[in-house]
């Protein structure tokens, strides 16, 4: 059943089409926004989780009169890179968006690349933050032993973000020469 709200959505679409626009442009433009937004969300959650673990470990060290461990900063900062990877994909899609015909012809693909990039980077960052949080707790309780193993574990999770970026970049349509 059509409601007044539904009809107003149709009138917006009709106006867009009457002005020579295409709803497909909109779908193509949503892709890079989702890529960056979802990746940033994952980075924020991952950094937040690792930051909480670091704050707890620093409080424990301070209470015991120990020097605060700087290596926690390294572990909690690692999930930020996935936002950078998504930004690289977003910028590459942005080049395609400058060509309306190419965007309209590949709107679904651009939207899919954006969603795929966003989800891949979001989950990679989020899981990297959880792994970093566990690493911080392990370092705190293990008196700093095992840092290199933590970096290796975080690097393995990071690889998912790198693969997501590389594979999605390979799917972006080529600009005409």
Residue 9 lies in a domain: no
- Please write the tens of the pLDDT for every residue from 123-136: 999 999 999 999 99
pLDDT of residue 27: 85
At 66, give phi and psi (nearest 5°).
-90, 160
pLDDT of residue 5: 53
Q: What share of the chain is helix, strand, coil (3-state, %, to 5)?
A: 85, 0, 15
| 2 pLDDT above the threshold of 60 | no
**Can you give 19-71 as a three-state secondary structure string?**
CCCCHHHHHHHHHHHHHHHHHHHHHHHHHHHHHHHHHHHHHHHHHCCCCCCCH
Residue 54 lies in a domain: yes
CATH number of the domain residue 158 falls in: 1.20.120.610
Higher pLDDT, 146 or 164: 164
128-164 as b/e: b if 16+ CB within 10 A: bbbbbbbbbbbbbeeeeeebeebbebbeebbebbbeb
For the beta carbon of residue 169, count every other beta carbon within 10 angstroms: 15
**Residue among 52, 79, 84, 57 at smallest CA distance from 155:** 79
| 59 pLDDT above the threshold of 80 | yes
- Please write the tens of the pLDDT for every residue from 80-124: 999 999 999 999 999 999 999 999 999 999 999 999 999 999 999
Q: What is the dihedral of CA 60, 62, 68, 74, to 10 degrees?
A: 40
- Return left, alpha or beta for 78; rule: phi > 0 is left, psi -120 to 50 is alpha, else beta: alpha
**Number of folded domains that form the chain:** 1
Query: Rounded to the nearest 10 degrees, what angle do helices 147-171 and 81-97 cross at?
Result: 10
Average pLDDT of the residues of the chain: 90
Provide the pLDDT confidence category of residue 177 given band limits of 50, 70 and 90: confident
Q: Measure Cα distances from 157 to 37, 48, 106, 122 in Å.
A: 20, 17, 31, 12
pLDDT of residue 20: 54
Residue 154 lies in a domain: yes
Residue 43 lies in a domain: yes
Domain span at 137: 24-171
Residue 5 lies in a domain: no
Residue 1 lies in a domain: no
Burial class (CB in 10 A: 0-12, 13-18, 19+), 171: middle
Residue 166 lies in a domain: yes
């Amino acid at each position: 059943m059509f409601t007044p709200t539904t009809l107003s959505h149709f009138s917006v679409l009709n106006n867009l089409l009457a002005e020579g626009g295409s709803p497909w442009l909109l779908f193509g433009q949503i892709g890079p926004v989702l890529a960056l937004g979802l990746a940033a969300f994952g980075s924020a959650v991952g950094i937040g989780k690792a930051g909480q673990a670091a704050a707890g470990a620093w409080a424990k060290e301070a209470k015991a009169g120990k020097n605060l461990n700087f290596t926690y900063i390294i572990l909690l900062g690692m999930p930020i890179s996935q936002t950078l990877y998504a930004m690289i994909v977003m910028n590459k899609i942005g080049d395609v968006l400058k060509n309306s015909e190419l965007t309209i012809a590949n709107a679904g693909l651009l939207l899919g690349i954006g969603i795929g990039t966003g989800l891949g980077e979001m989950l990679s960052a989020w899981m990297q933050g959880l792994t970093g949080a566990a690493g911080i707790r392990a370092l705190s309780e293990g008196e700093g032993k095992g840092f290199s193993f933590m970096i290796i574990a975080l690097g393995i999770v990071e690889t998912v973000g790198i693969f997501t970026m590389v594979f999605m970049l390979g799917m972006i349509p080529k600009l005409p020469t």
